[in-house]
Amino acid sequence: MARGQDGRSHAERMRAGDLYQAFDPEVRAQYVRAQRLVRAVNATGIEDVAGRRPRLAELLGSIGEGSDVLPPVQCDYGRNVHLGADVFVNFGAIFLDTCAIRIGDQALIGPAVQFLAADHPLDPGTLRDGWESGRPISIGEGAWLGGGVIVLGGVAIGENAVIGAGSVVTRDVPAGVVAVGNPARVLKPAG
């Protein structure tokens, strides 16, 4: 485990959202482990909730009672994805989980939704030297994200918010509203 000048490994730096290098052996091993588990999850039939559940529990950081993720799903590390209770994630989800992606209880995630917590430095030299970072994502309880939504790193979506299909969420969305578009903007109160 290579340690930087601050005493943390690249994996620890990654989870904290700080600059890290993805080709570090420990980080790479976590990625390879996750890809093996993703294949196992994706090998289950959509109707095989009981067969998929233990595989999801091994892949993800946490998964609440009654939650399910339909295959196919893709993630970088899996360990940084946390699902509350009774969360439904439709097929085609992508989790670029370099740092925490937290989805609250009873959230509904439409098909082909992307959670992009991964980030890259804007400085060309730092980027060329292989440094990456991330920013956490938080989805509140009871939120509903329509098909094809893209959520960028550093975003928090409030409880009971509704994000319209195809929207790109680039900044926080308050609780209890409908937000749509690219970039997503609050349209009206939900309900």
Residues serving a catalytic function are 120
The CA distance from 139 to 83, in Å, is 10
The CA distance from 184 to 5, in Å, is 39
The CA distance from 68 to 7, in Å, is 37
Q: Which strand ranges, in their side-by-side order, compose the sheet holding 137-139?
A: 62-63, 81-83, 101-103, 137-139, 156-157
Q: Are 105 and 86 in contact (CB under 8 A)?
A: yes
Burial of 63 (0-12, 13-18, 19+ CB in 10 A): buried
The CA distance from 151 to 35, in Å, is 22
